Amino acid sequence: MAIVIDAKNEMKKSVDSLDNRVSELGREVRTTVAAELAELRDTSLADLKTSQQEAQRNAYNTGKRTSETATAVTELRRDVDQLRQDLGEVLALLRTTAPVAASAAPEAPDRAEPESGDEPRHEQAVLPGQRTAPEEAPAPRAADTSSPAEAAQDDGVPAETDAEQPTSEAQPQAGPEADQKEQETQATLEAGARTSDDAPVKEPAPFSPAGRIWAIMRAGRVSSATLVCHRDTWDFVAAQVGNHPHFRTPTLEERNEGMVAAVLSGRSLVAMLLSLYRVAEAPREGEGIDELVAYADWAMASQVYRNTAEVLNRALHEEGDPVVVTIDSRLPARP
């Protein structure tokens, strides 16, 4: 019986020892797991915060680069527009001067041909072998002498007499550009000398070198003018004339139905007319030209330029009244 009691006591001791060991192992496991979790939490939060800061830095740098790219694209687009305008001016100049040069080239030998002897300077410039040439083609010379007379009448200059026609032919053919400069200078003097008391005269067409001079000379005499148009029309005008050094962007006054009013000084009005004239006279067809855009620009520029020139013409005879250019061809409201 004593042996059983001893065995029972030993088993009880073993169970207690195992229970204590299990408790110690549980405490060790919990401590280890808690420490690992705490370390993992601290490391993860630090890594997450670092990643977030790096992402914010990358987003800021990306936004900055995007802004710089947009600015560069805007500047490049502005440069391309300026190059396109310069190219349009060159093409317009070539289109204007090429026909004149082509028509003047075959007539150059005629200036060296002798006439009836009234002008000895022509006799000195003619070679001996060319003295019989005028007897074979009198009819073409008669046709040539008619064109300068008609051109002189169209420009408002009286035609010369028959005896003076050979000299008048030789002078324009010496240089079309010099002749155009002389016409523009004469138009400048005539337009600048006009007052409201002068009798009406036949003015040159608005879309001509002389007509352009008349328009800008009148614009230069205006202290201020008000342009009333739709906002889209004003955006077009501002885009065409915005790069001109004499243009100053005015403050817009909102009107009804999308209309705006811009008060322009005489200086800005001159810049607007010159820029719109250049757009209206630019070629609308050819290689590298978008005809849809070119014709739309031509239509808008022509309307604004013509209306402004007509208002300035009336302002000369109605001195004292405010100069208001309205771009609005809608039908009047029904009563």
Q: Which residues contact 311 (CB under 8 A, 6 or more apart)?
A: 225, 323, 324, 325
Domain that holds residue 214: 206-326
Q: Is residue 191 part of a domain?
A: no
d(CA 109, CA 147): 17
| Residue at 335 is within a domain | no
**152 belongs to a structural domain:** no
pLDDT at position 9 is 82
Task: Determine the distance from the C-alpha atom of residue 125 to the mean position of all C-alpha atoms in its chain, rounded to a whole number.
Answer: 50
With respect to residue 262, please indicate whether it lies within any of the assigned structural domains. Answer: yes
Question: Which residue in 284, 330, 332, 326 sits closest to 306, CA to CA?
Answer: 326
Q: What is the mean pLDDT of each run of 10 residues along the chain (335 residues)?
A: 79 85 89 87 82 87 86 86 84 74 53 46 42 43 42 41 39 53 58 52 83 90 92 94 89 92 93 94 88 93 93 73 84 55
Task: Examine the fold and report which residue of 83, 100, 117 is the final residue of a domain before the chain moves on.
Answer: 100
Residue with tokens 């004239």: 277
* Amino acid, res. 118: D
CA pair distance 42, 26, nearest whole angstrom = 24
Q: Is residue 156 one of the residues assigned to a domain?
A: no
Beta carbons within 10 angstroms of residue 100's beta carbon: 16
Tokens of 130: 């060319």
pLDDT at position 228 is 95
Handedness of CA 38, 41, 44, 50 (dihedral sign): negative
Closest among 154, 159, 30, 169 to 108, alpha carbons compared: 169
Q: Is residue 61 a part of any domain in this protein? A: yes
Q: How many domains, in total, are found in the chain?
A: 2
- Beta strands (DSSP E) in the chain are 224-230, 252-254, 259-265, 323-326
**Token pair listed for 98:** 């090429």
Q: 328-333 long-range CB contacts below 8 Å, 24 or more apart?
A: 328/228, 328/229, 328/230, 328/259
* Domain stops at, among 75, 100, 125: 100
What torsion do the CA atoms of 54, 59, 65, 69 make, to the nearest 10 degrees?
160
Last residue of a domain, one of 72, 100, 128: 100
16 within some domain: yes
Residue 333 lies in a domain: no
Residue 17, amino acid: S
> For position 127, what pLDDT does the model report?
39
